[in-house]
Amino acid sequence: MTRRLLFSAVITGLLILGTVSPIFATVNFDATLPMSGNPINPTYDFIKSFYINYPQGSKLQSILQTKNFTVAFTANATSDPAVKTFMQQINTDIVTNERSPAVFSDMTVNYQMTVTGYPDHASFDYKIVLTPTVTNYVLNKAAGDIPQTFDASWMAFNANTPVTITTSQYGPIEINYPIDVIQSQMPDLYNQLKGTTALSVFQQPNLMDARGLFSDQPVNKWDSLFDPAYTLTETAGFGYTGQKIAVTTFSSGLSNAFSGALKVNNVDEDFTGTDGVKYHISTKEQANAGTVNVEGHANANQVQGGWTFVTSAQASATTGTATAGGTSTMTVYAMAGGAAVIAAFIFIWSNKKMKQVVHEIDTGPIEYETRKHWADKFDGEPTSEAPAGPDDKSKRSAI
C-alpha cells in the first residue's frame, strides 16, 4: 500500500507540473510572427470588471437590481474615421514612446460592456478586443548564419486618450474610460455616484494600456517552448499550407519561481452614496498575459532598451532547446517518458495482483460456515467453537 501511494503521489506531481491553468487578464495578447515578414493580425483583449454591493431598500438597489443589458458594437479603421484616428494615435505612441518601426495599417474594434443586476450586487464587465494589421515588425531578415530579428516593442503600446466612436444604436460611446459609458447610458446611476469614491474608481486609468505585458514580466522571463520536431498542423498563421514548420512559443501571465510573483491592482473598499447609505465597490483585474508564436528557434533579446525576438530557421548544434522556465526539451521528454514507465509498472503490478488465485485440491463436498466480518478479530473476544469430533468432515469456506 505504501508503494502504491508513493507511485500515485509521483504521477500526481508530474501532472500538476505539466498543467497550466488558464486565467483572465487586464490585457490578453496573442500574436504569430512568421519569418516571411508578411502582415500579421494579433489580438489584444482588454478585460476588467467592477462590482457594487448594496443593502436592501437602498437607492442603488432600486436602480441596479433589475438591470440586465449590454452595449456592444464593432467598428474598423477602413470605414470609421474615429477608429482610423484612434489607430493613428496608437502608431504615434509606438514610434514615439516604444521606438518601434512597426505600423498598424488597419484595425478592428470590438467593444462590449455588460451590466447585470442581482438582489445584493451588480456587475459591470468591460471587454475591448483590438485586432490590428501590423507591418514593419522585422528589424532584419535572416541571411546565411545571421539570424532574423523581430521587433516586439510595438506590442506594449498605451492608448491614454479618450476614444469616442459614434454608433447607430447607442450614439457616441467613449470606450477607453469605464465611467463614460455609464454617464451616457445610465445617467440615473451616474448621478448617484457623483461625488463618491465609487466614481473615482470608475475613473481609473484607461482600459487600453498594454505596457503591463513587459513591465509585469520582462520578455526574458517569459516561459518559452521550442520543439525540435517539426509541426505539421496549426501553421495557417505563418502562411503555410501542408508544409513543415518549427515554432518557438513564448508565454507570460503565470507566477512562478523563475518569473517571479505577478502584481494586480484590485480595489476593494466601502463608499457612502449620495443617499447617506454605505455601499461597497470592488474590481477584478488579473495579471497581464501574452502568447507569441515565433517561427524557428527563437530567443528573447534587448536592443537599445527595446525587446526583440531573435530567431533561426533551425536550432544550432551549440544552442540548447529550452522549455517553460528554462527546462531543456530533453528533460521534458524524459519526465514524460518516466511518467509513462511508472504508469505502465503500476498497471502491470495491479493486474498481477488481481489475477492471483489460490488453487486447492478437492477433498470432497464443500460445507459452508458462517464467517464473521474481518474487523471482528480486533474485538479481542475469544471464539467459541466446539472441537471437531472424529466423524466430522473437514470444513472449508468458499471464497
Give 314-350 as a DSSP string. Answer: S--TTS--B-GGG-BHHHHHHHHHHHHHHHHHHHHHH
Cell readout for 328 is 531543456
Q: pLDDT-based confidence at 24, cuts 50/70/90?
A: very low
Phi, psi for 11 (deg, rounded to 5) = -65, -40
Residue 85's pLDDT is 97
Phi, psi for 154 (deg, rounded to 5) = -65, -20
- Tell which wins on pLDDT, 329 or 153: 153
Residue 36's pLDDT is 92
Helices (H), the chain: 2-17, 59-64, 81-96, 178-185, 187-193, 197-202, 212-215, 329-355
Residue 353's pLDDT is 60
Residue 249's pLDDT is 92
* Percent with pLDDT over 90 in the chain: 53
Residues 47, 25 contacting (CB under 8 angstroms): yes
Average per-residue pLDDT for the chain: 78
Residue-wise DSSP of 267-291: -EEEEE-TTS-EEEEEEE----EEE
Rounded to 10 degrees, the C-alpha dihedral 77/80/85/88 comes to 10
* Percent with pLDDT over 70 in the chain: 65
Q: pLDDT-based confidence at 302, cuts 50/70/90?
A: confident
DSSP-derived 3-state class of residue 222:
coil
Question: Residue 183 to residues 186, 190, 352: CA-CA distances in angstroms?
Answer: 6, 5, 71
Q: Is the pLDDT of residue 254 over 70?
A: no
DSSP-derived 3-state class of residue 303:
strand
* Chain segment 101-118, per-residue pLDDT in tens: 999 999 999 999 999 999
| Number of Cβ within a 10 Å radius of residue 224 | 22
Q: pLDDT-based confidence at 21, cuts 50/70/90?
A: very low
List the chain domain ranges.
2-338
Cell readout for 181 is 459609458
Determine the Cα–Cα distance for residues 214 and 78; give it in Å rounded to an integer.
30
* Chain segment 177-231, per-residue pLDDT in tens: 999 999 999 999 999 999 999 999 998 889 999 998 988 788 888 988 876 555 4
Residue 265's pLDDT is 72
Mean pLDDT of 287-307: 89
Q: pLDDT-based confidence at 149, cuts 50/70/90?
A: very high
Choose among 128, 287, 112, 274: nearest CA to 198.
274
Mean pLDDT of 239-247: 65
- Tell which wins on pLDDT, 303 or 33: 33
